Amino acid sequence: MYDIESLYEATSVADACEALAADPSAEVIAGGTDVLVKLREGKGAPAHLVSIHELHDELDGVRLLDDGTVWIGPITWFHHVTTSPVIQETVPVLGEACDTPGGPQLRVSGTIGGNVCSAATSADSASTLFAFGALLDLQSSHGTRTLPIEEWYAGPGRSHRERDELLVGIRIPRDHYEGFSGHYFKYGKRRALEIATMGCCCLVKLGEDKRTVEDIRLAFGVAGPTPMRAIAAEDAVRGLDVAEAADRIGELACACTNPRDSWRASKDFRLQLIKEMSKRSLIEAARKGGADI
């Protein structure tokens, strides 16, 4: 059973922001795949919910803006991110990542904005959005602001979004994705209906010879308390031949990360995953970019 004391169905983004400001206990709900699970466990009850489920005109869909920025509405289902022609043309690896949460039913009810707002390091979109340096647009009754995703996370399951703020857009600027090919690698004990034991996204921009790593971004979920980039590892392999970079990236990534022991996996096992997944993700990203390896 769900202990819900009030449910307000917002008619616009401005209306939702006013409802959040008026009720200090109010919480946003869209697809409900996180919120309702939490309520079923007795957390946050009795709930005061502000639904943004019907705000399709303002918060749903994927668009390519005039300057080449990819804009994603926060209530866009995972499935619609995966199948969007804009995503497939510009940032297909994000579509691949959004095709991994849960099972088919979750992917046509769960939203990418909810995945971001959960602030879970295991969220399947997290490492890919982190690699792309996504920008997160927030709105409240007091105004608007934008947070780079690097400034979003405040700790495990916590973000710097204020309680009365609404995520109203996810943006990936053109220069954050242009020329990059990518690969998302999720490890779990089974292929579906599984929370990631480790998530890894590697973006690679190859040189004209299709053999040199001109640029690279390597991001992880579950390699620390929040999603993270392996900056030192990226710096160390930039400019190397793809094969040499692949040989070195695993050890370098392990030195950049700080996974923990949990009931899902030990720290040592996660370090082994980081080492192997870094290498495989780099190789696959380079292959998608035209490297012969």
Q: Say if residues 214 and 239 touch (Cβ distance below 8 Å).
A: yes
CB neighbours of residue 280 within 10 Å: 17
- Residue 106 has, within 13 A of its CA and on its CB side, a CA count of 18
The Cα–Cα gap between 114 and 116 comes to: 5
Q: What ranges do the domains of the chain cover?
A: 4-50, 60-175, 179-288
The pTM assigned to this predicted structure is: 0.95
Fold type of domain 179-288: Enolase-like; domain 1 (3.30.390)
CB neighbours of residue 188 within 10 Å: 17
The residues that bridge with 29 in the sheet, in sequence order, are 51
Q: What is the pLDDT, as a whole number, of residue 263?
A: 86
Q: Could you say which of 3.40.1440.10, 3.40.50.300, 3.30.465.10, 1.10.10.10 is the CATH number of the domain covering 60-175?
A: 3.30.465.10
Instruction: Tell me how far the alpha carbon of residue 201 is from its chain's centroid.
Output: 10
Q: What is the pLDDT, as a whole number, of residue 191?
A: 74
List pLDDT tens digits, range 45-61.
888 999 999 999 999 99
- Alpha-carbon separation of residue 259 from 12, 25, 226, 253, 270 (angstroms): 41, 34, 10, 11, 6
List of the chain residues with pLDDT < 70: 1
Which residue is listed with tokens 């979004």? 161
Instruction: Tell me how far the alpha carbon of residue 107 is from its chain's centroid.
Output: 14
Task: Let me know the angle formed at the C-alpha of 268 by 264 and 271, rounded to the nearest 5 degrees.
Answer: 95
- Give the three-class secondary structure for 292: coil
- The DSSP code sequence of 132-195 is HT-EEEEEETTEEEEEEGGGTEEETTEES--TT-EEEEEEE-HHHHTT-EEEEEEE-SSSSS--
Helix (H) or strand (E) holding 199: strand 198-206
Q: Which two tokens stand for residue 50?
A: 């502000």
Q: What is the pLDDT, as a whole number, of residue 1?
A: 65
Query: Which is it for strands 62-64 and 47-51: parallel, antiparallel or unpaired?
Result: unpaired
